[in-house]
Amino acid sequence: MRAFLVLLLAVCLTASAAMASPVLMISIDGLRPADVIDAKKRGFAVPNLQKFLKDGAYATGVRNVLPTVTYPNHTTLITGVSPAVHGIANNTTFDPLGRNQDGWYWYASDIRVPTLWDAVHARHGIVASISWPVSVGTYSIDYNIPEYWRAQTPDDLKLLRALSTPGLVARLEKDSGMPLAALFGSNVDNDLGRTRYAERLLEISFPAFMTVHLVSLDHTQHEHGPGSPEAHAVLAQLDSDVGELVADARRIQPDIAVAIVSDHGFAPVNYEVNLGRAFVDAGLVTLEADRRRVVAWDAMPWNAGGSAAIVLAHPDDPVVRARVQQLLAKLAADPSSGVSRIIDRTGIDAMGGAREPSFWVDFRAGYYAGASFTGPLVVAGKLKGDHGYFPDDKEMRAAFMIEGPHIKPKVLGEIDMRDIAPTLAKILDVPFPSAQGKPLF
Q: Which residues pair with 259 in a beta bridge?
A: 25, 402
* CB-CB neighbours of 111 under 10 Å: 22
Residues 307, 360: contact at Cβ < 8 Å? yes
Contact 391/65 with Cβ under 8 angstroms?
Answer: yes
| Amino acid identity, position 391 | P
What is the CATH class of 21-266+393-428? alpha beta
Which pLDDT does position 290 carry in this prediction? 85
Report pLDDT for 11.
Answer: 35
pLDDT of residue 5: 37
What pLDDT sits at residue 208? 98
User: Helices (DSSP H) in 210-344: which residue ranges?
Assistant: 216-224, 229-252, 275-281, 318-333
Give the pLDDT confidence score for residue 19 in this predicted structure. Answer: 54
Averages of pLDDT over runs of 10 residues in the chain (441 residues) are 39 45 98 97 95 98 98 98 98 96 96 98 98 98 97 93 98 97 96 98 97 98 98 98 98 98 98 98 95 95 98 98 98 97 98 97 98 97 98 98 95 98 98 98 91
Helix (H) or strand (E) holding 266: none
Q: Name the 3-class secondary structure at 401.
A: strand
What integer pLDDT is reported at residue 123 of this predicted model?
A: 97
Peptide bond into 67 cis (omega under 30): yes
Q: What does the domain layout of the chain look like in residue ranges? A: 21-266+393-428, 268-386
* Share in percent of the chain as helix, strand, coil (round to 5): 40, 20, 40
CATH topology of domain 268-386: Gyrase A; domain 2 (3.30.1360)
